[in-house]
Structure 1
Amino acid sequence: MSAPAVRRVALVTGAARGIGAATTARLVEQGYHVVAFDWCVADGEPRLPYAQATQADLEQVARGANDRVVAVVGDVRDRAALQQAVEVAGRRWGRLDVAVAAAAVILGGQAAWETDPAAVELLWQIDVDGVWNTAASAVPAMLAGPDPSGCRFVAVASAAATHGLFHLAAYNAAKHAVVGIVKGLSADLVGTGTTAAAVSPGSTRTDMLTATAALYGQADVEDFGRSQRIHRLIEPDEIAATIAFCCSLEGGVVNGSLVQADGGFGA
């Protein structure tokens, strides 16, 4: 797809690695400017059993983008930090056209009734409140910008948004809520031209998938590919391509919708 005549501007959360990093790169390829946002927890999060992205990861995403990516360190649980990221887009490029809520974590490994309430709380704060905060910060800037009819909000859901996954009940609940946010947001946006959609990846080759394998005691993430009809793992750039379409002007038809980019897992 050729670059748009007007340089569009996007905010991507969870941009330091995985699907967020791939989405940032894809949007840059398509001519966007991007504010790449991630929490970059230097010492990790004690409630999460796997390493988190670092500031070096985030800076690597920005490096080589010909000044088209600005890296911003912040936590999606902090609405003020997200509002500041939106302001960065406005000060630097004068507009915000797209927001991609890709930041998320995964926890689980126990039956629902055995799950630590602290784990449920953390999943809700990041995976649900983080999406809510991203929308609440970005959408007003989109509506106040030069082209609300071309603005797009895209949240990254999961196959867990439509399926009950073993020992991941809290994560299931969080990702179902992400879809609910998108559907409600799309209803509130009727008449503005701005749209909202969710993309549900299947098993994608990311650090989160490695963490999921550990929850199930699996040594090889490739095993997850067997549950998808394409009989392989999905690559982050494949999901990024789907997200990028939803972000595009043409992607306005995907409104209030859940796009299942799961390789046939849910077919």
Structure 2
Amino acid sequence: MTTSTNRPATPHAVVTGAAGGIGAAIARQLSADGYTVTLLGRTTVALHDLAGSIGADCRVAVCDVADSEAVRETFAALPPVHVLVNNAGQAESAPVSRTTDELWERMLAVNLSGTFFCTRAVVEGMRHAGWGRVVNVASTAGQRGYAYVAAYTAAKHGVVGFTRSLALEVASAGVTVNAVCPGYTDTDMLARSVANIVEKTGRSEADARAQLAALNPQRRFITPHDVAAAVSWLCSDGAASITGQAISVSGGEVM
């Protein structure tokens, strides 16, 4: 049986969508945990600024995860990847009747296909090494429904299903595959959601934030650090028996 003795002395972690918010918090946490970290995303300046603040064991890879060929070329140029955190994502709202083909396809491309492309690029290397961690940052939208974000919700449900299927494929190889599912998290994505509510309803920003925070039984927003801490644990040897799970980081919103 494969055990944690196959874990590299200094594992290499790739975090997608790493320039800010949850991705940046995860990158900082994994660096503090002793990983070398590659920050992957599209915003070159922000990625380099973050890499400079993290330190010498941090590199940058500029790539659009929704571009299959770009993902293949980018990962081929990287050192072996032992930990992959698929964090890149995008959320847009519209009722189903006004969800265009382009919006639907964009939500699937960024949130679901990007997760698949990046994972496909590394999973055989992990299997052959006898150790690996894949953590997909999904959402509570992958565990329940929300009105007006059907495309995003469908994509995140897809991420959870993909997580469960892949976990079974690699379970005997020392590789775990899990999803973390944050509720409303205090990031730029939340700020855009609040602005959208303000624009469409005329409510104040404070009222809009209170409306979203009320979905959390703890009556607060999740922080990027909350999510990063869950990812850190899933990448540890202490979570070696945890695979195929969709762990809700939502203050009890989803149980």
TM-score (norm 2): 0.89
**Structure 2 matches for 1:1-267, cutoff 5 A?**
6-40=9-43, 55-90=44-79, 95-108=80-93, 110-145=94-129, 148-149=130-131, 151-217=132-198, 219-220=205-206, 222-223=209-210, 224-267=212-255
Shift of 1:202: 0.8
Letter in 2 for 1:234: I
Shift of 1:132: 0.4
Shift of 1:113: 2.3
Q: Secondary structure at the match of 1:189?
A: helix
Distance 1:116 1:79 in 2: 23
Letter in 2 for 1:97: H
- Preserved contact between residue 106 and residue 211 of structure 1 (Cα < 8 Å): no
Distance 2:50 2:239 in 1: 25
Distance 2:230 2:97 in 1: 35
Q: Secondary structure at the match of 1:142?
A: helix
Q: What does the per-residue CA deviation read over 1:56-115, in whole Å, with 9 as the maximum and x for residues that have no partner?
A: 21112101323111011100012333334434441xxxx32100000000111x221221
Distance 2:96 2:73 in 1: 37
TM-score (norm 1): 0.85
> Unpaired segments of 5 or more residues in structure 2?
1-6
Q: Relative to structure 2, which stretch is displaced further, 17-26 or 204-213? A: 204-213
Question: 1:84/1:252 Cα in 2 relative to 1: closer, same or farther (>3 Å)?
Answer: farther
Distance 1:12 1:71 in 2: 10
> Unpaired segments of 5 or more residues in structure 1?
41-54
Distance 2:220 2:195 in 1: 19
Letter in 1 for 2:88: A
2:3 corresponding residue in structure 1: none
Shift of 1:5: 7.8
Q: Secondary structure at the match of 1:190?
A: helix
Distance 1:31 1:235 in 2: 22
Shift of 1:242: 0.5
1:49 corresponding residue in structure 2: none
- Preserved contact between residue 37 and residue 71 of structure 1 (Cα < 8 Å): yes
Distance 2:196 2:143 in 1: 20
- Preserved contact between residue 82 and residue 134 of structure 1 (Cα < 8 Å): yes
Distance 1:35 1:123 in 2: 24
- Preserved contact between residue 19 and residue 237 of structure 1 (Cα < 8 Å): yes
Shift of 1:190: 2.7
- Preserved contact between residue 9 and residue 89 of structure 1 (Cα < 8 Å): no
Q: Relative to structure 2, which stretch is displaced further, 246-255 or 76-85? A: 76-85
- Preserved contact between residue 37 and residue 85 of structure 1 (Cα < 8 Å): no
Letter in 2 for 1:21: A
Q: Relative to structure 2, which stretch is displaced further, 182-191 or 79-88? A: 79-88
Q: If each structure's helix is expressed as a fraction of its own residues, which one has the higher value?
A: 2
Query: Sequence identity, in percent?
Result: 29
Q: What does the per-residue CA deviation read over 1:39-61, in whole Å, with 9 as the maximum and x for residues that have no partner?
A: 12xxxxxxxxxxxxxx2211121
